[in-house]
Structure 1
Amino acid sequence: MADLICRWRNGTAKTVVELANTLPHEKMPVDQFREKMKLCYGGDFFRTPYQLACQLALYCEAEDGFYYPRFDHDINEAEAEEYLKFWIARYFVPNPYVRKDGFQNIECPTYFLKSLCDYVKKHPSCEYKDAYYESFGETAKNNDDIIRNYINNYSKVLNFSKDGILSLTGQSLEERFAFMDRTDKKAFFDSFDTTRTKSTSSPIKSFTPAQIIYYGVPGCGKSKKIMDLLDIAKQKGEITDEEKQVVRVVFHPEYTNADFVGQVMPVVKPAGGVDYDFAAGPFTRILARAYANPTKPYFLVIEEINRGNAAAIFGEIFQLLDRHKKGESDSVGGNLYTAGWSKYFVDHVDVNGKISAEIAGTEYGSDDEKPAVTFTANTAIRLPPNLSIYATMNTSDQNVFTLDNAFKRRFDSELVKNTLDGELHKAQRETKIENTDITWGVFWEKVNELILEKNTSMISSEDKRLGAYFIIGEEKTDDAGNKYREISRKLFGEKVLEYLWDDAFKYKRSTVFKNECKSVESLIENFEEGGFAAIFKDGILGL
């Protein structure tokens, strides 16, 4: 194992000033440089301080036999701070200044900050040690205090808490990417040249696609979770045209592969007669846009993925869900497919035609904006790295299609917790229920406890619970001008009580509701007239 960054000292502006101003400010032969530095730091400069100075790219002893300094003058802490902000977005491993036996199984470069950000995007509020292992293929060593200092003071995009949790700040990450040789000292040094403009650095953007199914009880916030992820992408400037970069589709029992991918349809010609053209489905439309615009992220959002026959809907496209991981690649037809691309390909003449037309109809400002692959009439289709797939699934749905293990293993799964805790959910928690002194948060908690109690014999009893956002009140203003939310009795009866009667307490009605409630109609009528006391057995909810 190897340290990601040398822990000689904290990477502060003060440390950078000390190192930079100790180093010579002019280019010179390496022997001359070493002679100048041999007495610095009590003769120990070339034991540990040099490693941090080199990792910070403050100097380089190049293969041409010369020493190159980063700065040609003494710097102050303000300059050092700006440099650290520039440096941290570009620092990568493996590099010439980490142990040769470290980071053997990852690509060069694997960018320190971007790799962690990509993992946190897929796993919000994750532990640093997990993000480190997945990003760099090694177990984090005992220098997380050093890493925390770099991240919190200079990254702008990540926050590293004292208890080891990483989270995004919402700011965008400045990126610069190119393939590197881990042993090339001069190339590593040049990567941190602040005088270079964007036109002289590689603008290639690297994407780590997400394929995630968010699951949970109805109303727990699965769709909101996806909306929040897309909102973050908007705030970072990654989504600039949502109508083009995001496609949403809802699966249902009648939905087919032809609806999803596309089908040949008759088209009436203006001059008379009929032509038959391929009408692209949502999958093909977003795929074509992603191919044509490789510098932007694209998102396919599938709501209720298990309410349709997902395996049949995807059809042969199913095998494209397997993606290359870091370090994996293959080459077909002169095109190199690296991390993020589908491992396998599918021949589909009509989809190929749509992608070709999309590329041909796109205007590019430079060659760097064009697709990285050469797309011809014979090119098979794959999922590109800039296309992510988000899906939702209700765990309580009945009479729906089951996702088999082969399908599920190609997606990450994340349970959306059914909670109203915290400031984020305060407005929903304190929503009033019309003409009662009970808030939604109190009712939601009590009735979910009752659902679990009454369905202990059912394996999936917790899936019967009400989601935190199963129902949302209308915003109102009181006489004093204060805003609040309120759920009308009518809406509450027809949505919440109907669910409790027909689903959650379907086999326990006599133990939960009063004898006067003989049907869902009488249940709702009694509630609208007499509130909770008129429908629930005395003391059963503890309201």
Structure 2
Amino acid sequence: MVYKILLLENYDNYFSLFSSEEIELKIETSIGNPLVGLAINDTLLLGIKEGSNFKVSLIINVTNIISGRLIIKKMLEVSIRVSYENTMEIGSQLPKVIDITEDEYKRILSEMISNYNDVQPQSPVNQLQEILPENQIPDYESRNRLITGAPGTGKSSFIDTEFKDKYFANEKLYKRIMFHSRYNYSNFVGSYKPVPIYIKDVENEDKYIYICEDAVTQREIQHKSSLTYEFVPGPFIEILENALNHPNSNFLLIIEEINRAEAADVFGDIFQLLDRDEENNSKYSIKFNADVMNYLAQVVINEGRCYKAHTFVRLPKNLYIWATMNSADQGVKKLDTAFKRRWSYKFISINEYEKNMNGNLKKDIILKINENVSYIINWSTLRKSLNAILVNKDIAEDKLIGPFFMKEKEIVDPDDFKFKLLLYLKDDVLRHKANQVFKYNTFTEIIENFDNGKDIFHDTIKANLKGISKYNAVEG
């Protein structure tokens, strides 16, 4: 493909955002005669503007605009018009347009990235589209995947070692977020939020810089408290934007604890996008609310099957959404069947990744409670014997204890051991069956006796409980 470059080195240019759909580009010539560009979506009209009249000189397709150089893919129309008032022809003043190859195009982009990374932020449509690595992924990998299993089985570790670290080494190719009980659609997708018009000058904290309309030619002003409202994208829209703009790269959104929020409410209309066709794009399209669609029109430069400005959006095949879920905790929500069937599943069994456990957790570790009381803990043995006891008490598998439930530093910390393991067993796992495993009814009694070196487990299970014993300092 042949690209074209519009060279503007002889002009001082700046951008001003005056609506959600249009960007005005003003190019001040050395003799003061302004060439004005009006960018609508991905089309730039370059010409002369006087009042409400706009005389077109160039119509071009925008790929990138930044600091004096405009890269364009296709010249749509070139026509020389006459300027106003002095009727001077502006043809000689037009920037030079030259053909460049695709390799030259990529080289120029890389050079621009290097040279202009520190340029003040401009309107999203004018930001440089960075060249990202093309990370090929086997087609059998699921686009939407839920990883489930008991606490500590290594769900997040599975995503990292088996997927993220293999294919998404560049941190710009993935995002990791966590759902919680107050997480909602606006957090996930984005919303209008107040943002400051003025920021402090990094070189002089007593001065503020005006950044609202003209981020390139900044001017210092007196301290003034002022806000404006802008659409601030959430993590889903941010990664969707990247996937649409970079079809040759793959992107991953990792959602930890997806069922801690009302997942169907958080996804909202995105729910419909989760159905994928044979090419792994969304089978159906949606049209977000005007705020989101206007934002996407500013930042997405590629239109096609998965996106048309102000019209529709689909998930592209290069966007993966993987999530973890744990049904054991009391604070989690239930995922409805319609939502779940749009995902593929990976269930991690209780001992599946025990081989990846820290080797010290398979050895005896001293847990010192105080000067008089210590215990010998073998975590691997202890958790397996506890799991066997819990299964015998008809405890559900998703409440059993995985190999990564506790770290080595937590096992040797008395408070962590008591409040992470013993309290979990009593309040979250056993609940009304706690007296079948513990000798005492209250957690206070359990930890007081544990601190004093007394048996806290019921006599009926002591024969099957292994991996924990009192440590005799004299004999040790």
Residue 344 (structure 1) aligns with = 284
Which of 218, 234, 238 in structure 1 is aligned with 2:151?
A: 218
Distance in structure 2 (CA, Å) of the matches to 1:386 and 1:207: 11
* 1:445-498 CA distance string (max 9 Å, x none): 1111111122x2xxx622221122111113xxxxxxxxxx95333321121011
Q: Does 1:427 align with 2:359?
A: yes
The 3 A distance-change label for structure 1 pair 204 and 534 is closer
The 3 A distance-change label for structure 1 pair 444 and 318 is same
Displacement after TM superposition at 1:523 (Å): 1.5
How does 1:350-429 map onto structure 2 within 5 Å?
A: 350-360=291-301, 376-419=308-351, 423-425=355-357, 427=359, 429=361
Q: Does 1:512 align with 2:437?
A: yes
The secondary structure found in structure 2 opposite 1:401 is: coil
Residue 264 (structure 2) aligns with = 311
Q: What is the letter of the counterpart of residue 291 of structure 2?
A: D
Distance in structure 1 (CA, Å) of the matches to 2:329 and 2:423: 16
Identity %: 34
The 3 A distance-change label for structure 1 pair 205 and 352 is farther
The 3 A distance-change label for structure 1 pair 375 and 253 is closer
Q: What is the letter of the counterpart of residue 464 of structure 1?
A: K
Residue 185 (structure 2) aligns with = 257
Q: What is the letter of the counterpart of residue 356 of structure 2?
A: L
How many aligned residue pairs are there? 296
The 3 A distance-change label for structure 1 pair 524 and 469 is same
Displacement after TM superposition at 1:356 (Å): 4.1
Q: Does 1:293 align with 2:252?
A: no
Residue 453 (structure 1) aligns with = 392
* 1:326-364 CA distance string (max 9 Å, x none): xxxxxxxxxxxxx0110111112433444444445xxxx
Check the 8 A contact 2:143/2:317 in 1, yes or no: no
The secondary structure found in structure 2 opposite 1:263 is: strand
Displacement after TM superposition at 1:510 (Å): 2.5
Distance in structure 2 (CA, Å) of the matches to 1:441 and 1:300: 33
The secondary structure found in structure 1 opposite 2:357 is: helix
* 1:491-524 CA distance string (max 9 Å, x none): 211210111121222222323222xx34213322
The secondary structure found in structure 2 opposite 1:295 is: coil
The 3 A distance-change label for structure 1 pair 473 and 294 is same
Check the 8 A contact 1:218/1:470 in 2, yes or no: yes
Distance in structure 2 (CA, Å) of the matches to 1:466 and 1:444: 6
Residue 45 (structure 1) aligns with = none
Residue 492 (structure 1) aligns with = 417
The 3 A distance-change label for structure 1 pair 346 and 537 is same
Which of 435, 444, 449 in structure 1 is aligned with 2:383?
A: 444
Distance in structure 1 (CA, Å) of the matches to 2:387 and 2:313: 47
The secondary structure found in structure 2 opposite 1:534 is: coil
Displacement after TM superposition at 1:401 (Å): 2.0
The 3 A distance-change label for structure 1 pair 376 and 411 is closer
The 3 A distance-change label for structure 1 pair 501 and 306 is same
Displacement after TM superposition at 1:431 (Å): 4.8
The 3 A distance-change label for structure 1 pair 431 and 310 is farther
The secondary structure found in structure 1 opposite 2:252 is: strand
Which of 158, 173, 176 in structure 2 is aligned with 1:245?
A: 173
The secondary structure found in structure 2 opposite 1:219 is: coil
Return the TM-score normalized by structure 1. Answer: 0.50
Q: Between Structure 1 and Structure 2, which shows a larger proportion of helix residues?
A: 1
The 3 A distance-change label for structure 1 pair 422 and 253 is closer
Distance in structure 2 (CA, Å) of the matches to 1:218 and 1:204: 32
Check the 8 A contact 1:211/1:410 in 2, yes or no: yes
Distance in structure 2 (CA, Å) of the matches to 1:422 and 1:462: 16
The secondary structure found in structure 2 opposite 1:385 is: coil
Displacement after TM superposition at 1:390 (Å): 0.7
Distance in structure 2 (CA, Å) of the matches to 1:322 and 1:247: 21
Displacement after TM superposition at 1:322 (Å): 0.5
The secondary structure found in structure 1 opposite 2:388 is: helix
Q: What is the letter of the counterpart of residue 289 of structure 1?
A: N
Distance in structure 2 (CA, Å) of the matches to 1:497 and 1:279: 43
Displacement after TM superposition at 1:425 (Å): 3.2
Structure 2: runs of 5 or more not aligned: 1-133, 199-209, 211-224, 368-373, 467-476
Q: Which moved more, 1:302-311 or 1:341-350?
A: 341-350
Distance in structure 1 (CA, Å) of the matches to 2:425 and 2:261: 25
Distance in structure 2 (CA, Å) of the matches to 1:281 and 1:411: 22
Q: What is the letter of the counterpart of residue 211 of structure 1?
A: N
Return the TM-score normalized by structure 2. Answer: 0.57
The 3 A distance-change label for structure 1 pair 207 and 465 is closer
Residue 232 (structure 2) aligns with = 279
* 1:236-287 CA distance string (max 9 Å, x none): xx43421x22112211221110111111123343367543221101110111
Displacement after TM superposition at 1:231 (Å): 4.6
Check the 8 A contact 2:135/2:250 in 1, yes or no: no
Q: What is the letter of the counterpart of residue 343 of structure 1?
A: K
Q: Between Structure 1 and Structure 2, which shows a larger proportion of strand residues?
A: 2
Check the 8 A contact 1:302/1:390 in 2, yes or no: yes
Q: What is the letter of the counterpart of residue 491 of structure 1?
A: D
The 3 A distance-change label for structure 1 pair 505 and 437 is same
Q: CA RMSD in A?
A: 2.8
* 1:187-215 CA distance string (max 9 Å, x none): xxxxxxxxxxxxxxxx9968745211111
Displacement after TM superposition at 1:439 (Å): 0.5
The 3 A distance-change label for structure 1 pair 207 and 518 is closer
Residue 398 (structure 2) aligns with = 463
Distance in structure 2 (CA, Å) of the matches to 1:373 and 1:207: 22
